[in-house]
Amino acid sequence: MKAVFTDRQGIRYEVDPIGKYPHVSAQTLINSIGIIPTFLNPEAENVIEEAVGSYGFSMGPMTGGTIEKDGTYKYPGDPDLYPLTRCVVKDVIVFIYPYGMTAFVDGDKTVMYRFD
């Protein structure tokens, strides 16, 4: 059974959604995403713009990489990144990875930002 948590805004997060961190506690993974959840607003008209604007210092959008259906982030020449958490805000799927990398999948539009 996968761990889940719900933040103060009612957003439900799947922890280690693709099972790549079996030896890391759910609490450690939750702690690893830091304050990124505070930038996600389920009341926002545009979840992505709101998150980027709320943070104010994001690096991105990052280009050249791809997000697989399971959430794996692939960038040429780099090791794959696996999501620490996955949530859905409105209809936007949000994957949060190590290093503050955060992917937003909104229908056919996928963008990656770094919130560090």
List pLDDT tens digits, range 86-109: 999 999 999 999 999 999 999 999
Give the pTM.
0.94
Residue 81 tokens read as: 């990144």
Domain that holds residue 8: 4-114
Q: How far is CA 86 from CA 20, 76, 77, 79, in A?
A: 13, 23, 24, 20
1 — pLDDT class (breaks 50, 70, 90): low
Please report how many Cα atoms fall inside a 13 Å half-sphere around the Cα of residue 24, on the Cβ side.
15
